[in-house]
Structure 1
Amino acid sequence: MKKIFKLSLPMLVIISNVSVGISQVNVDDRQSVENAKIVGQLHGLEGDTLTLSYWVNALGLDETSSYKRAFAPVEQKIIVAKDGSFSVRIPVYKKLQYFSLKSNRQKTIWKEEYFFRKGKMDDISTSASVPVLNWSYFILEPGDDIKVVLQHGQMSFSGTGAEKIKYLNEFKYSQNRPKSFQSFRGDSLSTIKRISYYDDLQQFGINILKKYHGRISPMAYQVLQADIIGHCQYYRYSSASLFNSYKDPTIRRIYLNIYKEQVKAKALPLLEQLSTEVLGLSKSYPLFWQQRFKVEQSYLLYNAHGDGVETQQASKNDLFEAVLNLKKGLLKDKLIVMNCSDMLKVFGQVQVEERLATALTELQDPTMYAVVKRFRDDFSKGQLTYDFTMEDVEGNHVRLSDFRGKVVFVDIWFTGCGGCVSVAKAMRDKVEPHFEGKDDVVFLSISIDKDKRMWKNSITKDAKRDPKLSYQRPGAHYSGDKTIYLRTLNGSDDPFIKKYVTNAYPTLMLIDREGKVFAFSAQRPDGGKAKLLIDQINDVRKL
């Protein structure tokens, strides 16, 4: 049966400069909407601009989540009055909803971190600039009326719903919080220490939350439990997933033992007590569910077939079917959207379109349905590509339509991206030489680097290292003399990037002579697969 959803745009009061993510503007009118209110007196932030973000459906361990496009927030700007006061009402569309509130004004903080490598632990201090007011993924419920006062660098909270803010503020900024831990890839002792750190962090968070039992609504209390456990377990399983990074059987067996003894063996009784509704509302649990599935499948396949099996791809093939078999609800819907976002980078065009069509028949939540529908509309083969305007090395503005009549290969990257360097090298050594003298093919290298000097140093063939800049080796992203190098005018906020980069870099695209999309996920040429990309480009040339 075809689903029909009535959609409307959520509004905020006393706020301007609306910026809306695709998953947040589509909310069923029939849902009950009740406002939450936050008022404050922020001494030291008089006249500052606050950025308010809120999610109808939230997903992320932090605000750099790879699923930002699918789970983007509504964003609003709030001007703090000259006397330091501000007031905002936020519509709450579900039983609870996440929000962030950050000041434009910054402060410098010092934090202590552990670094562990080759059996040695170092305790060092690092500085960072952070917003003076820095609430990230805090929780609101309908009817909340929260007052915040910032005075002499200290915050106090009162009013209905304030206990949730007090808890999250204590958990995130307590001096007793376990020190963050930096591990090093390839060091098994470092991996064990990292897993232990997240065990400590989880227990720390649960112990603090217990103090607020009875002071927070049962629903919010349980979602916060799911958030803490989901966050920490995600990183524990991510540590075990390093197994997939190595072909050496000895190293693989080391990580297999780490997984068995340090990760899988740990029971999670608190999660087993939480309802599917709670787990679906959690911003962290769906990420943990997916990561655990991928890691467990990889180890099962390894145990069954040994070192020769492609465990990562097999896990991706099984994941979609596992998600479809879940009980209907928000947890399943979030996982479907995550999987759809991932598959745009992994599978071929026909398979992507088939899976998107299947996903649309399964989704229940109207905002999640709207996201996948947008994926289908944007990523269907034959769609006219968005006509960008970007800057070339000489500072000239270049439009995609300038190349109409030619086959266009697009490589989207940023300095510091290891996979992007690997693709650039394969393009330089294997792909571009094959099309030497063929003027009907154009290679576009598009960087989202905001630092122009850094970008130019990355693409200059014989560049020298600049000690004033911190980045990957000079010239690492040079991909050939035939390449046209472009840079977005506003980093990853460029409309073309927002439309086509779903969750990872590099993003590779193929566009036909009419400016229509042939492939949103073109074949990567690295890893010995250059010929597959060459064949794909030639297929477009024959059209």
Structure 2
Amino acid sequence: MKKTLLYLIATLFLSLFIILGFAQNISAKKYRIKLKIDYELNQPGDSVTLLFNPQEALTMQQIAIVDSSGICSFDLEQEFPFGKFSIEKFKKHKRNDHRMIVYKLYWEAGDDITFKIKDNLIVNDYSTNLIISGPGAEKYKLQYSLRKELETIYQEAQTKNSVSADSLKYLEQLEYQLYSVLNKSKDKINPFLYDVLKTDILMVRYDPIIDNYISFRLGYAKESPEKRNQHIDTIHKVLTNIKKFPVSDSAIAASGRFQRAFGELFYSTALLKNNPPDLKTSLREIVHYFPGVQKESGLLSLLKQYGLTKNQTELVEIKKSVKTFPYNAILNKLLVQKRRNVYGYTFMDTSRNLIDLNQYKGKYLLIDFWYTGCGACAVYYQNTLSKIEEEFKDHSKFAAVSISADRDFNKWLKSIPINRYTNTDAINLNTGLLGNKHQFAEDIGQWKYPFIILVDPDGNIVEYDTNSISTTKELLRETLKKYLQ
């Protein structure tokens, strides 16, 4: 009897060991991105950047150098089996060539693609000057065909001026024509990708509504309670319709258009109910409206809207909800990016000296990333940051750090005393010739400008582009007082 019991226990432990080992192998599985960029303007030594978005909330980048034959190759392993990627080129020659030459194309594991791109002075994403080859090339040709059809429809509508761009008649026509392009290539792509692209097409119908709510946000506070409730009802109807799309749940969750709409619309309803918006309110709504992987992907999109704080209680609920691969892997990657320590990264000061952020140890640092010509950066500085800098200028535990991504050093230097984006009293730093490709931007997943983080006296990010620090001076003031008290 004892021998039998010992045998059963040993078998159980062995089985458990095998299962755990198998699970670890699954989680450790890597997927390969293989791309070659043969761009007519490439010169040896030029840099080309691969921007990869496995989900709208997460941006990663990989920089490669053009070789002696004029080819730039990307061959890297990463933990996500699909997502969108873009290719951005930086010049080394005199011609102005800082361009996005491939923009948000849907990639899947196993693709091995070559993009041969001719010189083009007019079109930025090169859809008319592009030759695509290699295993999986059909999906890229199809995506460019859909874009071309979309552009054609827009141009025809503008020329004829027969229907407004947000009318149901126009949107139905647009949807029908895009379907015809998609279905011609249905047999050349897998069912999952077909459903993702179909979801993107179905989402086009709601673009005018989504864009309207994005642009109208500043006016929410002036609306009556009745009007706000009407807006909320409209948004909920859109979300209900999306739930009924005749495609797989996993394809809806993977659609970039769905992810954008999800975050924007739920953030809008939270704004309509409370100002400032409340993440807990949004979480409750999401659980009510969406199940499964749609909910998980949507929660990530919502984090992009709200930003992250170091001790965010809502993260416990989000972690419990986001448990399906690859969305749990995306969440973990997101949290790693947003919990970086900023010490050890160096930037250039106005005298071209390299400055490590650790020399400001012991202070809370409000770090503002911007570049000259960025209108939103100027608005944030004029309306919010400049007021707070003046108010907290004598606080011994606080400093404002202004980091510009301008690659032109002299242009940046001349902009400082103008007081449009910063001022001479701030800690003024620059990313140098790397521009927005500085290692710090890559490591923390910076994806926009202005981009605001708050760092504690030990160099840890405690507020990652949250509404509390990136919107109004009132919210920023309250947040700083909370940490500085």
The TM-score with structure 2 as length reference comes to: 0.68
Tell me what 1:168 maps to. 143
CA deviation digits over 1:118-149, x for unaligned, max 9?
xxxxxxxxx99867x7464144465x677887
Tell me what 1:396 maps to. 353
Tell me what 1:358 maps to. 317
Tell me what 1:488 maps to. 431
Tell me what 1:498 maps to. 442
CA distance in 2, matches of 1:516, 1:175: 45
Tell me what 1:291 maps to. 264
1:327 to 286, 291, 305: 291
Tell me what 1:114 maps to. none
CA distance in 1, matches of 2:247, 2:33: 25
1:342 partner amino acid:
Q
CA distance in 2, matches of 1:390, 1:321: 42
**How many positions carry a matched residue from both structures?**
445
CA distance in 1, matches of 2:87, 2:392: 51
After superposition, where does 1:251-270 map in structure 2 within 5 Å?
none
CA distance in 1, matches of 2:89, 2:450: 32
Specify whether residues 138 and 438 from structure 1 end up closer, same or farther in structure 2 by C-alpha distance, changes over 3 A only.
closer
Tell me what 1:477 maps to. 421
Partners of 1:231 and 1:285 within 8 A in 2: no
Partners of 1:101 and 1:134 within 8 A in 2: yes
**In angstroms, what is the RMSD of aligned CA positions?**
5.2
Report the Cα offset of residue 58 of structure 1: 2.7
Tell me what 1:460 maps to. 417
Report the Cα offset of residue 222 of structure 1: 1.9
1:170 partner amino acid:
S
**Secondary structure at 1:412's aligned position in 2?**
strand
Tell me what 2:105 maps to. 137
After superposition, where does 1:75-474 map in structure 2 within 5 Å?
79=67, 81=69, 98-99=84-85, 134=102, 136-140=104-108, 142=110, 161-173=136-148, 177-179=152-154, 193=165, 201-230=174-203, 233-234=206-207, 236-246=209-219, 272-295=245-268, 301=272, 310=274, 313-314=277-278, 316-324=279-287, 326-329=290-293, 331-344=294-307, 349-350=310-311, 352=312, 354-376=313-335, 379=338, 384-425=341-382, 430-435=387-392, 437-461=394-418
Specify whether residues 138 and 52 from structure 1 end up closer, same or farther in structure 2 by C-alpha distance, changes over 3 A only.
farther
Tell me what 1:12 maps to. none
CA distance in 1, matches of 2:268, 2:397: 44
Partners of 2:49 and 2:64 within 8 A in 1: yes
**Secondary structure at 1:72's aligned position in 2?**
strand
Specify whether residues 263 and 241 from structure 1 end up closer, same or farther in structure 2 by C-alpha distance, changes over 3 A only.
farther
CA distance in 1, matches of 2:59, 2:28: 20
CA deviation digits over 1:217-276, x for unaligned, max 9?
333322211123335634541224433222585899999999999996899699621110
Tell me what 1:28 maps to. 27
CA distance in 2, matches of 1:97, 1:438: 45
CA deviation digits over 1:323-362, x for unaligned, max 9?
4564333x333223233343335xx543x2x222332333
CA distance in 2, matches of 1:379, 1:147: 33
Tell me what 1:72 maps to. 60
Tell me what 2:478 maps to. 532
Report the Cα offset of residue 59 of structure 1: 3.1
1:216 partner amino acid:
I
Report the Cα offset of residue 209 of structure 1: 1.3
Specify whether residues 388 and 427 from structure 1 end up closer, same or farther in structure 2 by C-alpha distance, changes over 3 A only.
farther
Greater shift in the superposed pair: 436-445 or 277-286: 436-445
CA deviation digits over 1:24-61, x for unaligned, max 9?
xxx73468x7x898899x79579778958485x7335x
CA distance in 1, matches of 2:444, 2:73: 36
Partners of 1:237 and 1:295 within 8 A in 2: no
**Secondary structure at 2:403's aligned position in 1?**
strand
CA distance in 2, matches of 1:430, 1:53: 38
Report the Cα offset of residue 200 of structure 1: 5.8
CA deviation digits over 1:191-219, x for unaligned, max 9?
x6467877665444223113223343333
2:348 partner amino acid:
E
The TM-score with structure 1 as length reference comes to: 0.62
2:428 partner amino acid:
Y
Report the Cα offset of residue 313 of structure 1: 1.0
1:421 partner amino acid:
A
**Secondary structure at 2:247's aligned position in 1?**
coil
The structure richer in helix per residue is: 2
2:60 partner amino acid:
A
CA deviation digits over 1:412-439, x for unaligned, max 9?
3333445543443356764344445555
Specify whether residues 318 and 28 from structure 1 end up closer, same or farther in structure 2 by C-alpha distance, changes over 3 A only.
same
Partners of 1:224 and 1:282 within 8 A in 2: yes
5+ residue gaps in structure 1?
9-26, 61-66, 107-126, 184-188, 302-308, 462-474
**Secondary structure at 2:152's aligned position in 1?**
coil
Report the Cα offset of residue 446 of structure 1: 1.9
Tell me what 1:59 maps to. 55
Report the Cα offset of residue 278 of structure 1: 1.8
CA distance in 2, matches of 1:527, 1:423: 9
Tell me what 2:123 maps to. none
**Secondary structure at 2:355's aligned position in 1?**
strand
Specify whether residues 258 and 149 from structure 1 end up closer, same or farther in structure 2 by C-alpha distance, changes over 3 A only.
same
2:369 partner amino acid:
I
1:337 partner amino acid:
L
**Secondary structure at 2:428's aligned position in 1?**
strand
Specify whether residues 222 and 52 from structure 1 end up closer, same or farther in structure 2 by C-alpha distance, changes over 3 A only.
farther
Report the Cα offset of residue 515 of structure 1: 4.1
1:535 partner amino acid:
K
Partners of 1:431 and 1:534 within 8 A in 2: no
2:139 partner amino acid:
K
1:171 partner amino acid:
L
CA distance in 2, matches of 1:476, 1:409: 17
CA distance in 1, matches of 2:42, 2:470: 51
CA distance in 2, matches of 1:281, 1:423: 32
Tell me what 1:465 maps to. none
Partners of 1:363 and 1:369 within 8 A in 2: yes
Partners of 2:114 and 2:134 within 8 A in 1: yes
2:323 partner amino acid:
Q
